[in-house]
Amino acid sequence: MDVIKVEGGHEITGEVTVEGAKNSALKLMAATIMAPGVTTLKNVPNIADVHVMGKVLKRLGATIDVLDKHTLVIDTSNVDKWETPYELVAQMRASTAVLGPLISRFGKAVVAMPGGCNIGARKIDMHILGLEELGVQFDVKHGNIHATTPNGITGNTVTLAFASVGATENLMMASVHAKGTTIIDNAAREPEIVDLANMLNEMGAKVKGAGSPVIEIEGVGELHPVTHTVVGDRIEAGTFLAIGGLCGKPVTVNGFDPIHLGLVLKKFEKMGLAVQREAHGCTVWREGPILPTDIQTLPFPGFPTDMQAQTMCLLALAKGSCVITENVFENRFMFASELQRMGADITIEGHHAIVHGVPGFSGTQVKSPDLRGGAALVMAGLVADGVTTVSAIHHIERGYEGFVSKLVSLGAKAERDTVPDDEDAIRD
């Protein structure tokens, strides 16, 4: 069993550069299906989820060459299948991002129900309901979603019940070749949506309004391959900036746009952290105590659910009490029970976490419950008394490239290790 071991108490300071955004790269890879030919994606993170999406594309008939570890050359000329295998989709919910591109190119698709982090129901009802408004017919059976377009795809106005990122992306991609114009109302506004729209427009699509609640897509003919650079990962950046705030000394993060962390950085400042914004990076440090600050997660430009665990780690050491409200994923508080093993004082009431600050953490064995929670447990270990051993680190490696090596470059005493695969032993 692979684990990350962290010894607390070492000075953490310095600079790191983040990779391309996981949540953008996966959708851009899927979008290459829509433009037969050779598309080059730069600044792609070398992480487990990208490897899974690569396998999905290869199963569909694409070929992928890795020029360097961050540049993918994807040839979708010979994509001739429209069914994604369960064993791959079950590993990662973002695999459903191929639904829109397959419908767009072939007018049909078979996609297994999604997997990924165990942080919520992950219903894709909104994807299906929205696509039905465009003329797509669905039959869900034996764990697979079967999509067909008997009369083609027709532009329409689709109003989302929730500003779902995945539903917005699938609707954008499926409607690129629609007859007429599609309007997505209450669309997700995340920077990754804008990145996808930019690449689609570079390919020849006509997408307007990405980054606002209303996106308009005018149907066009064929798309052409392009070369595109993935936007910097704001969540990876936020994680390292939170580490700067937790440990105190300045941590500078390069390779992203601080505007993409607007509310996070404002909340950090309310918590007593010093924040210095630059054009393509940011520095965070702290001189006084962490101040209790209420947080509630919401779709962008609200506070991202993907930064909730890291922020809870900070607030667990605050001088006072506060409330964190999770409005996006119902199971996102599984991280709290692991942090409690390290001495945190957290009470869960429904989708609220009441956090009472404690003087410090105690190193122990903990288990990564999901991607961001796992990273936050390693983060807690940086300031804990003694050694913290985090297991189930496959979650972390789904979204962070070289996490341990970057921590070491900042001064951490951390290592990736392999121990006997005994579920009970890690708890003893």
Q: What gap in Å lies between CA 278 and CA 285, rounded to an integer?
A: 15
**Helix or strand or coil: residue 365?**
strand
Of 47, 88, 90, 136, residue with least CA distance to 398: 47
Cβ neighbour number for residue 46 with a 10 Å cutoff: 15
Q: What gap in Å lies between CA 132 and CA 134, rounded to an integer?
A: 5
- Tell whether residue 328 is among the known ligand binding residues: yes
**CA 378 to chain CA centroid, nearest Å:** 18
Q: Are 101 and 94 in contact (CB under 8 A)?
A: no
Alpha helices (H) in 63-135, listed in sequence order:
86-89, 99-106, 125-132
218, two tokens: 């005018």
- Tell whether residue 22 is among the known ligand binding residues: yes
Residue 282: active-site member? no
Rounded (10°) CA dihedral 71, 91, 17, 404: -120
- Tell whether residue 23 is among the known ligand binding residues: yes
Q: What gap in Å lies between CA 346 and CA 356, rounded to an integer?
A: 6
Taking phi over 0 as left and psi of -120 to 50 as alpha, with beta for the rest, 349 belongs to beta
Q: What gap in Å lies between CA 373 and CA 309, rounded to an integer?
A: 5
241, two tokens: 């900036």
Of 10, 390, 20, residue with least CA distance to 236: 20
Rg (CA), the chain: 22
Sheet containing 214-218: order of strands:
157-159, 181-185, 214-218, 206-208
- Tell whether residue 93 is among the known ligand binding residues: yes
Q: What gap in Å lies between CA 253 and CA 237, rounded to an integer?
A: 6
DSSP H or E segment with residue 235: helix 234-247
- Tell whether residue 306 is among the known ligand binding residues: yes
Catalytic site positions: 117
What residues are designated binding site for UDP-N-acetyl-alpha-D-glucosamine? 93, 306, 328
What residues are designated binding site for phosphoenolpyruvate? 22-23
What residues are designated binding site? 22-23, 93, 306, 328
